[in-house]
Structure 1
């Protein structure tokens, strides 16, 4: 009976996601609608969509698991992420929205790079689209792994069965409704996630003797769990804080900035987004800590720390509520996968198919190709999900570093530095991607490396190398054209005007 109630809640949630996809299908008329929602997205939807697509399964599995296993010393990653997200909203969001609209209505990140630097050769667009397809396929596979493990742990299904259930629903609503479907479902998913991450730790605390009782249990069992410096090192802290650098280069997040209805609404979106993120990420941390206290008091061992949210949901709530809480985990997983599939599809359609095969393709044809690409990228990511042994946080970390290093410096400095040119952009993208991959391979295959190599998150060396390549490539080659300078200045004037209008209002 309990299992049936859980299934009912899960099926209602999945049905709602498909229903929103069908609704979005009838609102999607052209390629701009399918890939960017026609730039008509309001501030709340923008904020929740950016947040939900950012926080994948690691928010309800990886982060609580790390807190359960290591204590608050795992919180350095949270500090890095909060600082990085705020800087992204402040520095990138308004500038990218203004520039992509001004630069001949760029609708993808590779499209923006090409138009920002007036690259008629198409090399920038092609290379950046290739990077998107490589790292997003890896990233999406981590989501499918999380979904498969969820159905396996909770419902006793085979890993592959759970994976296909998740994949089928996500593919269907992205296939049908594109950007609007992804954005609308993200809003629902974001609300479910934050409610779950407030409810589960609150109930757990009340059953563990309150806040004082929970903390006393942790202190008695292992006082180092409450030590921010436990087991840390300078390299380790730098590595965790460096996750924040990745925000500047995540296509599935920054594409949300491009779609907001107006620059004037960006400040409201930033506030909503940061409030949502703070509540969600702190709730996930507390879930792991109080979960440790709760199961310690019961003298119960949790074999896999990453399942602490799942186990608390099953142990503390009736069947239907448990199902809704587990829908929050599905929401975290699905919101990220759906955006990744859409951005990958846009790269494959706009930046490969239209560029090299049919420049004059109609919107109807491009939408058809885009939907086919959604299916193709999803199937490739699913194939990579079979036999995956790494933790969810590790899988996410690889792709996060790849995008952060390959695109982060280019996106940031293309919006801030007038002198940057296409040679610097290309050098930065290639260097960031190659150093990320090389560092991962080096650390995984070579034994006996010093800790400043083996313990350093690949984001750090790759981001630094990418930034150096950007400045070197730009300064050692010719200046941008007068047209590029003029366009850059026009965008700055537009941003200045928007800030002045906001002050008057």
Structure 2
């Protein structure tokens, strides 16, 4: 006889999937052009864009990765919250409006579009490099999200990893195939609300259900006193510094990542950005802090002094959320949390697949090979390329699971995130704030950022003496710095074209 609790979870999941398909069908009615499919016709409101940008930026990493990190790191895990909060606020406050104004003036609907127009490119070199790197890292990032889907189904529903990954994969592929960017943003708003409510309310419920005793600090100290050290758990001061930097520098990824910045292209106008800024900042603060707190509560409740937390809570704490919901919530709410976890994952997968599709369809096929092709034909090609990219990512996810069954989800996802961020964020930052930045400098930044992620991950981390420090720091911060320095040096050697500088000055002088 089938477990009634399992059937309740499946029923709730079915309702959730039904809502996503309804969103896809409604969104499909707004798809009349390439601009509609990739940026919603640039008519999206601030609530939808803010929730979509945050849901896309957080992914399954927030619910499974960051809750696990909170359990393993203790108080020092809050540095992730600080870093992300700063990254989101700086992005919305100082970069979003400038990027929106320029991308609108260029008529851009993709990031390579923006870059090619910004530098008044006379060749397709910049577009090809940007689109190619975008596709590579997006496929890796999507693969990591599909991987998390399988882990979530296994830990929260007891469904085999491969079956769970396939279910999640086909759900998200179906509704974005129908509705494109509009479906992605609308579903992100729905899924973001689920994530927000679930994460913010869960630690409150757990706190009042636990035996609070002497408090959180005393509870952690009874297990391991280093868990309450906000400046790091190591006796090595340099290791603590690198760990704090590694946690807080995750926020750099919000300063220009294409999957986030394409949302700024889609928003109605610059005034909507001022409103969305506060929604995005509040979402980040409350959800990230809640995720780390959930992990800390799980560490106190489920482990004791001397126990290996990974034996009890899973590799890197990946079972924290499923364990704490099963322990403290009734079955119907546990089922809703299964949907919330899938929301976090799918809100990222849908956006990334559309981004990869735009790179292939718009930046390769249309701009390079078929500049006169009609939008109607491109929309069909967009859907085909979305399906192809999705299946490639699925295959990579299965390979990751087979080759590295003991992988750490937090860091696997972070590698894909860092690759996209290190390649594009320095380029977006320099293009927005330095008129002396040139096309050759941008190409150098992208290539050096791309290569640095690989070098720091597979070479520096393996070095005997300094490797552990780079493991703690991770690849984003050093790759980010390398990309900016290389771009600066090359731009000084090969300055931008005079007409490109003049165009930028004219656009910036325009009032909204």
What TM-score do the two structures reach when normalised by structure 2? Answer: 0.93
Residue segments in structure 1 that go unaligned for 5+ positions in a row: 499-505
Partner residue of 2:416 out of 383, 389, 399:
399
Report Cα offsets for 1:100-120 as digits up to 9, x if no partner.
1001x1000011100000112
Structure 2 residue aligned with 1:502? none
Deviation at 1:249, TM superposition (A): 3.1
Q: Distance in 2 between matches of 1:198 and 1:454?
A: 30
Partner residue of 1:302 out of 313, 321, 346:
313
Report Cα offsets for 1:18-51 as digits up to 9, x if no partner.
1101111111111100000000001111100100
Report Cα offsets for 1:231-268 as digits up to 9, x if no partner.
25222222222212222231111111111101111110
Please show how residues 349-498 of structure 1 align to structure 2 within 5 Å: 349-388=361-400, 389=404, 390-443=407-460, 446-447=463-464, 449-482=466-499, 484-494=500-510, 497-498=511-512
Change in 2 beyond 3 A, CA 1:112/1:122: same
Q: Distance in 2 between matches of 1:465 and 1:221?
A: 40
Q: Distance in 2 between matches of 1:211 and 1:38?
A: 55
Structure 2 residue aligned with 1:82? 85
Deviation at 1:391, TM superposition (A): 1.7
Report Cα offsets for 1:363-407 as digits up to 9, x if no partner.
111111110111011101100111423222111211222122211
Q: Mean Cα displacement is larger for which, 139-148 or 70-79? A: 70-79
Please show how residues 107-186 of structure 1 align to structure 2 within 5 Å: 107-186=109-188
Change in 2 beyond 3 A, CA 1:146/1:211: farther
Report Cα offsets for 1:196-248 as digits up to 9, x if no partner.
11222111111113485444322322232221122252222222222122222
Deviation at 1:443, TM superposition (A): 3.8
Q: Distance in 1 between matches of 2:449 and 2:490?
A: 13
Partner residue of 2:273 out of 266, 272, 292:
266
Count of equivalent residues: 494
Contact 1:346 1:370 in 2 (8 A): yes
Deviation at 1:297, TM superposition (A): 8.1
Change in 2 beyond 3 A, CA 1:157/1:83: same
Q: Mean Cα displacement is larger for which, 412-421 or 234-243? A: 234-243
Change in 2 beyond 3 A, CA 1:291/1:453: closer
Q: Distance in 2 between matches of 1:189 and 1:280?
A: 13
What secondary structure is seen at the aligned counterpart in 1 of 2:121? coil
Q: Mean Cα displacement is larger for which, 62-71 or 217-226? A: 217-226
RMSD: 1.9
Q: Distance in 1 between matches of 2:29 and 2:496?
A: 46
What secondary structure is seen at the aligned counterpart in 2 of 1:120? coil
Change in 2 beyond 3 A, CA 1:450/1:12: closer
Contact 2:57 2:254 in 1 (8 A): no
Contact 2:113 2:363 in 1 (8 A): yes
Contact 1:89 1:270 in 2 (8 A): yes
Q: Distance in 2 between matches of 1:461 and 1:442?
A: 13
What secondary structure is seen at the aligned counterpart in 2 of 1:249? coil
Deviation at 1:489, TM superposition (A): 1.4
What secondary structure is seen at the aligned counterpart in 2 of 1:55? helix
Structure 2 residue aligned with 1:501? none
Structure 2 residue aligned with 1:330? 342
Q: Distance in 2 between matches of 1:329 and 1:345?
A: 25
Asked if 1:5 is matched to 2:18, the reply is no
Contact 1:250 1:408 in 2 (8 A): yes
Structure 2 residue aligned with 1:223? 225
Contact 1:215 1:293 in 2 (8 A): no
Q: Distance in 2 between matches of 1:436 and 1:332?
A: 25
Q: Distance in 2 between matches of 1:318 and 1:343?
A: 38
Q: Distance in 2 between matches of 1:450 and 1:58?
A: 24
Contact 2:76 2:244 in 1 (8 A): no
What secondary structure is seen at the aligned counterpart in 1 of 2:285? helix
Residue segments in structure 2 that go unaligned for 5+ positions in a row: none
Partner residue of 1:340 out of 352, 366, 388:
352
